[in-house]
Amino acid sequence: MADGAGPRDMGDWIGITVALLSAFMAVTKVKDDNIVQAMMQAKSDAVDTWSEYQAKKIKQHLVEMGRNQTRDMSLLAPGIAKDSMESQIREYSGEIKKYDEEKITLQSKARAFEARYDSLNNRDDQFDISDAALSISLGVLGVAALTRKRWLLGLSWSFGVFGLLMGLAGLLGWTIHPDWLVKLLS
């Protein structure tokens, strides 16, 4: 490309392709790393929320046992003690209701974190497939540079286009997700 008129031979095309694909891979790598961090946060939040949910269940179970024991004891209690125990039973029942409501809220919150993780994981898959396809493309470009075989340049560009498509899908939030390929590679 001495005179600036554009690529004249295969070496020029290979060099341009390597530069463009490498730059695109750098951008998608940064975005993918950020998505992985968000995935870890979403998973951590989901685990923390499920742990809080389990703690509420345990507390509720303890309160239910206290209510049941107090109810059983109230059957044997006379007058004033029975009134005090019935008051305690009502208090326990109120706590049980509160725990039921809190558990529903926590369950919904944990499921939302899990859904966020799944959504981010789909985008991470897109970036992983993009990275793999672009790496194959760069490898084939190296062989094409050594052998000067035009069909290898075409094969490289095929992998490159697929890698670019998957990278753009990850960057732009497109719903392209080749499940069969993800399962194959998982």
> Which of 22-26, 92-96, 152-156, 180-184 has the least mean pLDDT?
180-184
DSSP 76: T
Distances (CA, A) of 24 to 20, 38, 67: 6, 21, 64
Burial of 34 (0-12, 13-18, 19+ CB in 10 A): exposed
Q: Cβ contacts of residue 118 below 8 Å, gap of 6+?
A: none
pLDDT digits (tens, 9 = 90+) for 26-42: 999 999 999 999 999 99
What is the model's pTM?
A: 0.80
The helix/strand/coil state of 6 is: coil
CB-hemisphere CA count at 13 Å for 56?
19
Per the structure block, which two tokens stand in for 27? 């951008």
Q: Is the pLDDT of residue 109 over 80?
A: yes
Give mean pLDDT, residues 97-126. 97
Cβ atoms 128, 64 nearer than 8 A: no
